[in-house]
Amino acid sequence: MGEIAPEWDKGHREPVKTLEDKWKLVPSFLQVKGLVKQHIDSFNYFINVEIKKIVQANEKVFCDSDPLFYVKYLNAYVGTPDLEEGFNVTKPTTPHECRLRDMTYSAPITVDIEYIRGNQRVIKNKQLIGRMPLMLRSSNCVLTNKSDKELAHLNECPHDPGGYFIIRGQEKVILIQEQLSRNRMIVDEFKGAIQCQVTSSTHEKKTRTIVILKNSKYVLRHNALSDDIPITVAFKAMGICSDQEIMQLVGTDDATVKKMAPCIVDCHNLKIFTQNQALAYVGSKLKVKRFPTANSKSRTPIDEARDLLATTILAHVTVENFNFYVKAIYLAIMVKRVIEAETNKAAIDDPDYYGNKRLELAGSLLALMFEDLFKRFNWELKSIADKIIPKVKAAPFDVVKHMRPDLIANGLFTAISSGNWTIKRFKMERHGVTQVLSRLSYISALGMMTRVNSQFEKTRKVSGPRSLQPSQWGMLCPSDTPEGEACGLVKNLALMTHITTECSEIPISRLACNAGVEDVRLLGGEEINHPAVYMVFLNGNILGVSRQYKKLIRVFRMFRRRGLISAFVSIYPNHNQRTVYICSDGGRLCRPYIIVEKGHPLVQQHHINELNRGIRKFQDFLNDGLIEYLDVNEENDSHIATVESEIDPYVTTHLEIEPFTILGVCAGLVPYPHHNQSPRNTYQCAMGKQAMGTIGYNQKNRIDTLMYNLVYPQCPMVKTRTIELTNFDKLPAGQNATVAVMSYSGYDIEDALILNKASIDRGYGRCLVYKSAKTTMKRYSNQTSDRILGPSRDVATGKVIRAHEILDTDGIASPGEMVENRQVLINKQMPPATINPVTQGQPQQVEYKDVPITYKGPVESYVEKVMVSSNSEDAFLIKILLRQTRIPEIGDKFSSRHGQKGVTGLIVQQEDMPFNDRGICPDMIMNPHGFPSRMTVGKTIELLAGKAGLMEGKFHYGTAFGGSKVLDVCKELEKHGYNYHGKDIFYSGLTGEPLEAYIYSGPVYYQKLKHMVQDKMHARARGPRAVLTRQPTEGRSRDGGLRLGEMERDCLIGYGASMLLMERLMLASDAFSADICGTCGRLAARAWCHACRSSAAVSTVEMPYACKLLFQELASMNIVPKLTLKKYC
């Protein structure tokens, strides 16, 4: 067979030619979309479209006291970023200014309003109602569409991705939040019972409706109902009163009828036959409202139940004029799904399936927050109007004067800076939505922008949501997830993933109707459930039924490829459910694919050539219908070939653009990841974020609290396409070290590395650590303020005291000075906090308190620069940037790009290092035992390719699923006189004789990680103790003791070293001589027992102070601990 098949193949189809340089579509895609375009797109949509919709939805504010009064919002705008400098004075600002001055990068939100003043209608334009924090590089940001040179003038790095906010000087990212999609039926098993649940979400409400099998009867369950309602009752309450109609909606086949029979009987038993009876039944099951309003009292339970059915149960299915027909069909489908799932387990939905997930981005989260704040703002306006209008006043009530912009501004600012998302109307409370942008390295910042946070609890030990779902293919990076508790819950987007923003439903439903979708309201149950008919859903709502679903799908896809409807609308059938789903909602994951028709990709070589020549852009490919976006669901309805050779003319519909794009930004740094054991790539993803290097071109202008830079960062010898796409080669974090894989000295066990001292002397691994100190000069209400004094002098010698040696005459450390431990950086003083009203005229003589900003640390630093400015409260802001240069030492952590970390075990003189024929000494020696169990074959290939690249003077590529081939690399080595396998003869530097083994050696890209001994080393003999317990303090920062813990204690007990135990646990900790009264057994004070009024039997006992403290604390709670004393020896 195997031999015949190609023959057969040849006759019937010619092989599909491989497209050269197809990968160039990826940079072209990223040029338009960028790496963080999801954030920016979503935010742009919010500030340009959604905010207007929100304002329109809440456009009118009325007032109870004056029926004529109203405020109407006509339009809303978000302006350009500025700073408020005093009252009504603003000044345009830049992100970097905000970072340095601890300001918020925000823009005013203005509205056009129409309102009643006195009895006049007034229109006021550009009324400020709040401030919107601006996302960097969003449409209103000053950085958008700026050239590199202009960006440099704004002190901004051209490679900075943007997509984050600056709140009070801090860079904050709103993480992408993953959640189950709303308004979709999900069938799952809950405690053994099959249920179908829908989480409906509209602008006003968010409710969950469940249809569940209970005691072999189907019931409707909802939070607003105190009890489950039989499904038949629910149908009757919706006006489907005859049992026949109900059965027609649910289905009339025997199995269904059998299953539904108990429900129908149930309904008869309850004696419910009419809609009113049913509504009354539902009304009786309503949850009792705790605070009945005046309005609700007058209404009957029937009205309440009708309202509830219309607006709360399945809220997303809109009901007009109490015509429940569509909602009844929807409910019937839910019942049908449950019935189907009972017999067919495959019909149970997988909640981890990515098609059922939606990602919430900054824009939609901010929209929720803004709407909540805006509603509160309006409510406050209303209550002010209620209060003031009845009062007779000289001037007519002007609502504009009561619009305070700080409510919305502060609400948004605190939400972003604290990460607490509290939405009152949804009773939503979420924590940790935002995080401080990690600026450890460029990659860590970029990695944070692509991070996806799951709503699942981290503590729960569930495997389902954590494991890699096949539907994540190409959308989420399979490697990049943290280890430990958040494993699999925190994910990262793949390189080409795009997250959709909402687009309008109206043109889509119109198109669907033109393509043969029939309105369901005109059809009976029998027609709807007809086997030849497919039901069509649009964003979870019933649109209608179609007899020719294939045509419908074809028409939609054609329209989309022609660009007549949004490229992000997806359509896909579900044959089991006999439905067609159309989606246009936001938050779906999608990615571009090349369209394949009749076995040939539509993208031809000449298109790629045009791309190379720059006359074709990614958008043109979309416009010409050569490439289209597929979301997860539609991807599962397609047949996608990874490479051209896999195309099958009869089934293939799409072709992958480049396979390496299934990886994300962090995993993209790994060369040859497809040769590594998969956890190694995951480890590297975590470690790449800790690597030191370059943060951005503006790193010298930043004053961060902590910043690590490499002195001589290098671009890796073995690059990947992703490295180029993410600009890692321009902002690298590591150095190419010549590594010899061999054993040396025994100081290299357990992954320890041997470093060459000469390499270190020449600058290898040298890094700069920047820390900043800052203070503000506050002004207090009692007219006093903080002050800074110049250096103090010793009275006797007249010299400046040591602590103040580095201070300038203005009391602030001067740039270039060396700062040692406990030296003062800013000699600040604070007035006493006593509330002292101002005495007339004369300057007060108050005792100022010293609150100096001092430097702490065993190793000295240098003052790099000093910034004096003012912050948003108009107080002086002083920031000092301190610098340390660190040379690698024993214990510093290094890592290659393959999850192989190690600490420096020994630093060896160059002459002791082995050398090869060409006189090359390695910079680093790595123990070969690191390889067999880790199986990081990629690292060995990186070494080989790097070595060949050095000889050839070029960079090799280690791109995932591609890159330079080992065979070619080895041939290149051979060409330059090296051993084909990369193993060379080395001579021992110690004996001078050749080593017995050939040594595998060459350059490997090594990252210096932020963990350095200098920040960790700690020892203590004597030191501070805690005040309360008199035990040694804890932790390095407090010069704490080293704990002899429980398990260590157990060892000593087991060994029987009682005196050692005594010494460790008491004498070296909190030994205390307590006076104990022998007669009453209580603690005595100063050899005098207060209870016995005697000192006769008082003796001194050594005990831990904590023990004595316990006795006293117990005594204070009326428990008397008593000690019985005995003669000891």
Which residues are the active-site residues?
751
By the rule CB under 8 A, 706 interacts with other proteins: no
CB of 765 to other proteins, least distance (A): 13
Compute the C-alpha angle 485/487/490, nearest 5°: 110
Hey, what's the torsion of the CAs at 915, 921, 927, 931, to 10 degrees?
A: -100
CB closer to other proteins, 226 vs 979: 979
CB of 878 to other proteins, least distance (A): 21
By the rule CB under 8 A, 180 interacts with other proteins: no
CB of 950 to other proteins, least distance (A): 15
Tokens found for residue 342 = 């009972």
Beta pairing partners, 808: none
Q: Work out which of 11, 798, 932, 977 binds other proteins, going by CB under 8 A.
A: 977
User: Candidates 428-436, 534-542, 988-996, 1018-1026 — which segment interacts with other proteins by CB under 8 A?
Assistant: 988-996
Per-residue binding string, other proteins, 60-99, x by CB under 8 A, is ----------------------------------------
By the rule CB under 8 A, 862 interacts with other proteins: yes
Q: Work out which of 224, 768, 966, 1044 binds other proteins, going by CB under 8 A.
A: 768
CB of 912 to other proteins, least distance (A): 8
By the rule CB under 8 A, 923 interacts with other proteins: no
CB closer to other proteins, 711 vs 801: 711
Q: Work out which of 144, 223, 609, 979 binds other proteins, going by CB under 8 A.
A: 979
Q: Work out which of 228, 634, 864, 923 binds other proteins, going by CB under 8 A.
A: 864
DSSP one-letter code for 986: E
Q: Work out which of 30, 280, 758, 1080 binds other proteins, going by CB under 8 A.
A: 758
CB of 824 to other proteins, least distance (A): 21
CB of 974 to other proteins, least distance (A): 6
Find out whether 187 and 195 touch, Cβ atoms under 8 Å.
yes
CB of 634 to other proteins, least distance (A): 49
Tokens found for residue 1032 = 């040694």
Q: Which amino acid is at 340?
A: E
By the rule CB under 8 A, 921 interacts with other proteins: yes
Helix (H) or strand (E) holding 198: strand 193-201
In 3D, which of 906, 391, 443 has the Cα closest to residue 685?
443
CB closer to other proteins, 919 vs 932: 919
CB closer to other proteins, 762 vs 1122: 762
Q: Work out which of 473, 915, 961, 1072 binds other proteins, going by CB under 8 A.
A: 915
With contacts defined by CB under 8 A, how many residues of the chain interact with other proteins? 41
By the rule CB under 8 A, 980 interacts with other proteins: yes
By the rule CB under 8 A, 968 interacts with other proteins: no
CA 117, distance to chain mean position in Å, is 47
387/379 Cα distance (integer angstroms): 12
Helix (H) or strand (E) holding 447: helix 442-449
228/1104 Cα distance (integer angstroms): 62
Q: Work out which of 523, 711, 966, 1125 binds other proteins, going by CB under 8 A.
A: 711
CB of 741 to other proteins, least distance (A): 15
808/814 Cα distance (integer angstroms): 6
829/404 Cα distance (integer angstroms): 36
By the rule CB under 8 A, 917 interacts with other proteins: yes
CA 15, distance to chain mean position in Å, is 44
User: Candidates 383-391, 461-469, 475-483, 753-761 — which segment interacts with other proteins by CB under 8 A?
Assistant: 753-761
Q: Work out which of 68, 193, 890, 985 binds other proteins, going by CB under 8 A.
A: 985
Per-residue binding string, other proteins, 990-1009, x by CB under 8 A, is xxxxxxxxx-----------
Tokens found for residue 1016 = 């960790």
Return the HEC string of 829-890: EECCCCCCCCCCCCCCCCCCEECCEECCCCCCEEEEEEEEEECCCCCEEEEEEEEEEECCCC
CB closer to other proteins, 762 vs 1090: 762
Per-residue binding string, other proteins, 122-161, x by CB under 8 A, is ----------------------------------------
CA 596, distance to chain mean position in Å, is 35
Tokens found for residue 1086 = 């100063």
Tokens found for residue 864 = 């790099």
Angle between helices 243-250 and 325-343 (to 10 degrees): 60
Burial 43-53 (b: 16+ CB within 10 A, else e): bbbbbeebbbe
User: Candidates 586-594, 906-914, 925-933, 1066-1074 — which segment interacts with other proteins by CB under 8 A?
Assistant: 906-914
Angle between helices 406-418 and 362-388 (to 10 degrees): 150
User: Candidates 140-148, 628-636, 819-827, 972-980 — which segment interacts with other proteins by CB under 8 A?
Assistant: 972-980
Burial class (CB in 10 A: 0-12, 13-18, 19+), 695: buried
Beta pairing partners, 372: none
Q: Work out which of 455, 604, 821, 909 binds other proteins, going by CB under 8 A.
A: 909
CB of 882 to other proteins, least distance (A): 12
DSSP one-letter code for 493: B
CB closer to other proteins, 994 vs 1081: 994
Angle between helices 254-269 and 243-250 (to 10 degrees): 140
CB closer to other proteins, 49 vs 887: 887
CB closer to other proteins, 541 vs 745: 745
Q: In 10 A of CB 349, how many CB atoms?
A: 17
CB of 148 to other proteins, least distance (A): 13
- Residues 871-890 touching other proteins, rule: CB under 8 A, are 883, 885
CB closer to other proteins, 158 vs 994: 994
Q: Work out which of 92, 390, 679, 763 binds other proteins, going by CB under 8 A.
A: 763
By the rule CB under 8 A, 785 interacts with other proteins: no
By the rule CB under 8 A, 911 interacts with other proteins: yes
By the rule CB under 8 A, 919 interacts with other proteins: yes
By the rule CB under 8 A, 816 interacts with other proteins: yes
By the rule CB under 8 A, 978 interacts with other proteins: yes
Angle between helices 549-561 and 506-514 (to 10 degrees): 130
Beta pairing partners, 893: 903
Find out whether 236 and 267 touch, Cβ atoms under 8 Å.
yes
CB closer to other proteins, 550 vs 700: 700
User: Candidates 41-49, 603-611, 772-780, 904-912 — which segment interacts with other proteins by CB under 8 A?
Assistant: 904-912
DSSP one-letter code for 84: E
CB of 1017 to other proteins, least distance (A): 21
The sheet with strand 217-222 has its strands ordered as 185-190, 193-201, 206-214, 217-222, 229-230
- Residues 629-688 touching other proteins, rule: CB under 8 A, are none
CB of 963 to other proteins, least distance (A): 23
Find out whether 63 and 382 touch, Cβ atoms under 8 Å.
yes
By the rule CB under 8 A, 832 interacts with other proteins: no
Find out whether 734 and 1006 touch, Cβ atoms under 8 Å.
yes
* CB neighbour list of residue 46: distance below 8 Å, 6 or more residues apart: 362, 363, 364, 366, 367, 370
CB of 817 to other proteins, least distance (A): 11
137/737 Cα distance (integer angstroms): 37
Three-class secondary structure of residue 755 per DSSP: strand
What residues make contact with other proteins under the rule CB under 8 A?
A: 700, 711, 757-758, 761-763, 766, 768, 816, 862, 864, 883, 885, 909-912, 915, 917-921, 974, 977-980, 985, 987, 989-998
